Every structure is written in C-alpha cells, then in structure tokens.
Amino acid sequence: MRVNRPTLAGLAAAAALVLAGCGTSAPPTVTFDIGGNTLTAAPTQYCDNQLQNCADDANARLTAPVEPGTPVTITVPEEVSSAPWQVAFAYLGPDGRTRTDGRSPIATPGQRTEYTLTLPDPRDRLVTAQVQLFGPAPVADPASGQITFPVRATWVLVAP
C-alpha cells in the first residue's frame, strides 16, 4: 500500500497533537488561608520527579499582609501530599529586627494535606512561608557529608 506525503504529514501532525496533550496538565496549586482570606498559589518552581524538566515562575508568588498573631493554614492537594513536603518560613520577632528561619516537620507521603503555621509569640510578624515538595531521595554531599533534600516544587507566600 502506498501512502502519499500529505496523509503521512497529517498523521504525524495528529500524533504530535495527541502527544502534546499528554502530561500538559497544569501544576498543582496550594492554598494559604490567612484569617479567613483564602489565596491560591501556583508554583514558583515545578520540576518532574527526576528534576529534569523544570519551570520557574517568580511571578507566581503570593504577596499578602499577615497581621501578627494570625495563623496561616496551608492546604495542599493530593499531588503534593502523596510525596514528602514541608513548610519553610521566616519571621521577625517582637522587636521587628530579629529574623528567625524555621521549618515544619516533614510530612511523609499521605500523612496530611494541611499545616497551620502559628508563630511562637503573638507579636511575631511572618515574612515568608514556602511549601516545599521534595523530589528524589536525599543524597549526601561528598565534600561535607551533609544530607541534601532535593526540592522539586515550591509555592511561596510573602508577607510585606
């Protein structure tokens, strides 16, 4: 059977469209609830499980005021909760100058879909909160011996 070129080209174009449709679903979003105000964040960084294909979007970060003493409830979808994840955060102490960086405990796969960030002192002011989705297994740095946890996706809230 002889296939003419236009038909072959048409089949190739159709196959390309079908393949392009596979795996093009939007990356998952994360919600930050600040005193009843729910904001949805797209990832600022999102990579596949092997950290091979990554997309960065600095404009995806959320900027919202967080009054001192206001807890922030973070909710992640199944795409995030099915892997290890945590919340990294920074805040200013009651003096407004002393910065402290912290991290939530790591949520193991399927452990939880929500984390409420409450700062130690009700006068502390949140600076940033970042959901970090871990990727491949941790590795040891040969030079320092320290364990590195590869982060494959992040969702960021900045509190001005």
Measured CA to CA, the distance from residue 50 to residue 152 in angstroms comes to: 8
Closest CA to 44 of 120, 124, 156, 148: 156
Measured CA to CA, the distance from residue 103 to residue 113 in angstroms comes to: 16
**Intra-chain end-to-end CA distance of the chain, in Å:** 68
Please tell me whether the overall predicted TM-score, pTM, comes out greater than 0.85 for this model.
no
- pLDDT of 6 reads 40
Measured CA to CA, the distance from residue 125 to residue 96 in angstroms comes to: 8
Q: What is the mean pLDDT of each run of 10 residues along the chain (160 residues)?
A: 38 34 75 97 95 94 97 98 97 97 96 97 98 90 87 97
- pLDDT of 24 reads 57
SS3 26: coil
- pLDDT of 5 reads 38
